């Protein structure tokens, strides 16, 4: 068999890319990974996959991988390779020295949405039990933190309501600020299947995304709104529901609270489709028709992406969608609900595991005495009852000198976070930056210690996908670095004087289950038996929970919240007359650290700027020209593409390539509740690059 080049063994594991969480059989010949075969029994994908999960795994053996720890005194010095012992004892000593000199709160950590639940849990434990503060945040801060806030306020928990299968029972799909064909391809296939069977589609997006009109699928309504006006549109849809007698009164009376106040608010004439037409650019008649379809077309489900969350009113919009779903009774059964399409493989899990500075695992606020006591007893140390620093606060505090040391796990904040110049200034101001990653990424350029990370093929643990499904990540090979990431975190904790030890990743999951009510029934043994399970999984729901809020909301009654539309302060001006919105493309993934090191790079070798033909023509720009893209905070150069799908006055790019560094132009504006950056609205100018 070996002579024929055929695989000799296989391991079932989970894709390391998007939040669909597809299961694969990794097939090996000896220790060499031959291919990834979509797993037919995978709960999320049932044998389907996309081009990233199937083919883009070569980065794990790329020569750029950092395989041994590195250190340097200053970022001007060259790296020197050191032993694990030296790297860990230096890191621990410097963290303690900095705390002694500048206070307990002067250090912190950022976790990743690409590492396992167990790895994330270990980092937040190190911060709370060893650093003695709550200065832990996750890269979900810059994508779905408004989902966490908005769904908790309205429904009581920070997660999507449905399993993916549920879409097969939807009669109407309201797709907001998401392009699943590129971002969540396997779920997009499920959605398209249902649409081909006759379900109706409403798309709310400034761009004419593929699903608006593609073979066999045509949206009933495309509400092509102006960027930044989501809340005005969703309020206008709710206004139609309320003023045209389309409220599900029985559902609202039995299951919700705050309806009467909200009804009076939303019925106000300022929320009518006619009143907001000029602001949103959506024709009032089209908006009314879409609202009627959503309210009366049968089971209506909302699916949404970062086009909802990455706004100054991201949290408001999440609550606005929840209001709409509750008012029409579209919660708590198959085919309905409010569902975030999570970008990264473990965004849901990193949030579940307590890596927000205000929440312990399971979304319990650090001020809750009962929740803190569980950890204080188990960990034998007090837990601070005040929230710690969010990522943007860490940057600001680094610049003002009160925050001095940062541990970053699997996250390239120097490329992914907005206003690159500000981020670079913050990182350069730190006394100690420790980066744990597969590669020497943009953030590592500012680091003093670079600790090698493990690829998904080397990890042992779990990822939690966008439908709350906990999937096993099984090691296909031993860590090429000699250590699991959770082991490194434990060793730093021990070197700082705190006894933190696990024999294996399943012991960490056992601790998670012991301390987190929604995970009480989860263990590696159980997952190996049943394949995967959707939380809550506990005594009340031993088989897990595919659909949430069936008999009652997690918070008891669903809560209507008044969602006043407040325009973003980012405005187009004479100097910056266009609005830039950013996103992703199918073949690439986030900052591209993984996909740029696979054959996928050939499909999208550079970031492109999409421009409407009119905007290109008035600037003398032809398809393929290099252009300068500038905003009030920065400037970069990239290639222009003339795209009919863009509306006049709006342009679009991706942020997969550091050479473009699209976040050089994005600003400090962020969501009022969570500080999620406003990546989707930046006033810019575009001109032919001077060198042409």
Closest to ligand SF4 by CB, 186 vs 211, is 186
395/390 Cα distance (integer angstroms):
9
Chain centre to alpha carbon of residue 183: 11
Interhelix angle for 485-495 vs 84-102, to 10°?
Answer: 50
Strand partners, 651: 580
Closest to ligand SF4 by CB, 214 vs 573, is 214
Q: Considering the complex, what minimum distance in angstroms separates the CB of residue 210 from ligand SF4?
A: 15
Contacts of residue 232, defined as CB under 8 A and 6 or more positions apart, other chains included, come to: 276, 279, 280, 565
Closest to ligand SF4 by CB, 476 vs 621, is 476
| H-run or E-run covering 119 | helix 117-125
Beta strands in 6-147 (DSSP E): 9-14, 23-29, 32-38, 70-71, 80-81, 107-111, 136-138
Closest to ligand SF4 by CB, 49 vs 105, is 49
Closest to ligand SF4 by CB, 10 vs 296, is 10
Which residue is at the shortest CB distance from ligand SF4? 53
Q: Considering the complex, what minimum distance in angstroms separates the CB of residue 108 from ligand SF4?
A: 30
Decide: residue 468, CB within 10 A, 0-12 exposed, 13-18 middle, 19+ buried. buried
602/658 Cα distance (integer angstroms):
16
Closest CA to 109 of 413, 456, 367: 413
Closest to ligand SF4 by CB, 15 vs 60, is 15
Closest CA to 133 of 406, 535, 530, 509: 406
Q: Considering the complex, what minimum distance in angstroms separates the CB of residue 184 from ligand SF4?
A: 6
222/201 Cα distance (integer angstroms):
9
Q: Considering the complex, what minimum distance in angstroms separates the CB of residue 404 from ligand SF4?
A: 37
What is the full DSSP assignment across 618-659?
Answer: HTT--TT-EEEEE-SS-EEEEEEEE-TTSPTTEEEEE---TT
Q: Considering the complex, what minimum distance in angstroms separates the CB of residue 16 from ligand SF4?
A: 7
160/148 Cα distance (integer angstroms):
10
Q: Considering the complex, what minimum distance in angstroms separates the CB of residue 592 from ligand SF4?
A: 14
Residues that bind ligand SF4 (CB under 6 A): 15, 17-18, 20-22, 45, 49-50, 52-53, 184-186
Closest to ligand SF4 by CB, 184 vs 311, is 184
Q: Considering the complex, what minimum distance in angstroms separates the CB of residue 40 from ligand SF4?
A: 14
311/281 Cα distance (integer angstroms):
18
94/131 Cα distance (integer angstroms):
12
Closest to ligand SF4 by CB, 294 vs 589, is 589
104/88 Cα distance (integer angstroms):
20
Q: Considering the complex, what minimum distance in angstroms separates the CB of residue 692 from ligand SF4?
A: 37
154/322 Cα distance (integer angstroms):
7
DSSP letter at 63 equals T
Q: Considering the complex, what minimum distance in angstroms separates the CB of residue 49 from ligand SF4?
A: 4
Closest to ligand SF4 by CB, 186 vs 237, is 186
Chain centre to alpha carbon of residue 205: 19
Closest to ligand SF4 by CB, 55 vs 79, is 55
φ, ψ for residue 59 (rounded to 5)? -60, -25
Closest to ligand SF4 by CB, 20 vs 609, is 20
Q: Considering the complex, what minimum distance in angstroms separates the CB of residue 105 from ligand SF4?
A: 37
Q: Considering the complex, what minimum distance in angstroms separates the CB of residue 606 from ligand SF4?
A: 21
């Amino acid at each position: 068999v070996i002579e024929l080049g055929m695989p000799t063994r296989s391991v079932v594991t989970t894709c390391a890319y998007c939040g669909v969480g597809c299961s694969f059989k990794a097939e090996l010949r000896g220790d060499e990974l031959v291919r990834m075969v979509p797993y037919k029994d995978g709960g999320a994908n049932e044998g389907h996959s996309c081009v990233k999960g199937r083919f883009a795994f070569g980065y794990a053996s790329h020569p750029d991988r950092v395989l041994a720890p590195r250190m340097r005194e200053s970022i001007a010095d060259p790296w020197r390779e050191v032993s694990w012992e030296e790297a860990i004892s230096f890191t621990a000593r410097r963290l303690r020295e900095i705390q002694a000199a500048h206070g307990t709160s002067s250090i912190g950590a950022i976790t990743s949405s690409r590492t396992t639940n167990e790895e994330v849990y270990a980092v937040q434990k190190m911060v709370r039990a060893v650093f003695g503060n709550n200065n832990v945040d996750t890269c979900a801060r810059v994508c779905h933190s408004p989902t966490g806030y908005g769904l908790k306020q309205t429904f009581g928990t920070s997660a999507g309501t449905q399993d993916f299968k549920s879409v097969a029972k939807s009669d109407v799909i309201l797709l907001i600020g998401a392009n699943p064909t590129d971002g969540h391809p396997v779920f997009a296939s499920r959605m398209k299947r249902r649409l081909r069977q006759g379900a109706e589609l409403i798309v709310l997006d400034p761009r004419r995304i593929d699903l608006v009109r593609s073979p066999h699928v045509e949206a009933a309504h495309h509400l092509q709104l102006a960027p930044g006006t989501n809340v005005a549109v969703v309020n206008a849809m709710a206004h139609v529901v309320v003023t045209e007698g389309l409220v599900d009164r029985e559902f609202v009376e039995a299951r919700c609270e705050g309806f009467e106040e909200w009804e009076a608010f939303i019925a106000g004439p300022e929320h009518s489709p006619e009143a907001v037409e000029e602001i949103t650019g959506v024709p009032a008649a089209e908006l009314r028709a879409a609202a009627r379809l959503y309210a009366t077309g049968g089971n209506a489900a909302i699916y949404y992406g970062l086009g909802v969350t990455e706004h100054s009113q991201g949290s408001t919009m999440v609550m606005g969608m929840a209001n709409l779903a509750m008012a029409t009774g579209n919660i708590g059964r198959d085919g309905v609900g409010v569902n975030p399409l999570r970008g990264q493989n473990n965004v849901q899990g990193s949030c579940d595991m307590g890596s927000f500075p205000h929440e312990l695992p399971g979304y319990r606020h650090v001020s809750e005495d009962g929740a803190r006591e569980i950890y204080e007893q188990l960990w034998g140390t007090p837990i601070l009852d005040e929230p710690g620093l969010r990522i943007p606060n860490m940057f600001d505090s680094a610049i003002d000198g009160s925050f001095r040391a940062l541990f970053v796990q699997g996250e390239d904040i120097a490329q992914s976070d907005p206003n690159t110049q500000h981020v670079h200034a913050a990182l350069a101001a730190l006394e100690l930056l420790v980066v744990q990653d597969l590669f020497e990424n943009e953030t590592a350029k500012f680091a003093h210690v670079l600790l090698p990370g493990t690829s998904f093929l080397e990890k042992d643990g779990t990822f939690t996908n966008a439908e709350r499904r906990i999937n096993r990540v099984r090691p296909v090979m031993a860590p090429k670095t000699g250590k699991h990431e959770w082991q490194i975190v434990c060793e730093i904790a021990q070197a700082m004087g705190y006894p933190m030890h696990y024999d294996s990743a399943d012991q960490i999951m056992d601790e998670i289950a012991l301390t987190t009510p929604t995970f009480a029934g989860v263990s590696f043994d159980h997952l190996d038996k049943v394949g995967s399970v959707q939380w809550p999984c506990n005594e009340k729901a031993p088989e897990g929970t595919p659909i949430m809020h069936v008999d009652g909301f997690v918070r008891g009654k669903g809560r209507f919240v008044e969602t006043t539309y407040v325009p973003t302060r980012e405005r187009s001006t004479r100097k910056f007359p266009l609005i830039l919105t950013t996103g992703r493309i199918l073949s690439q993934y986030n900052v591209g650290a993984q996909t740029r090191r696979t054959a996928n790079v050939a499909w999208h070798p550079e970031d492109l700027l999409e421009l409407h033909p009119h905007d290109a023509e008035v600037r003398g720009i032809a398809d393929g020209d290099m252009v300068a893209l500038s905003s009030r905070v920065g400037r970069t150069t990239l290639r222009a593409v003339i795209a009919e799908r863009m509306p006049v006055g709006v342009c679009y790019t991706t942020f997969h390539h550091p050479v473009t560094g699209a976040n050089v132009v994005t600003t400090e504006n962020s969501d009022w509740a969570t500080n999620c950056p406003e990546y989707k609205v930046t006033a810019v100018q575009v001109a032919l690059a001077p060198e042409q």
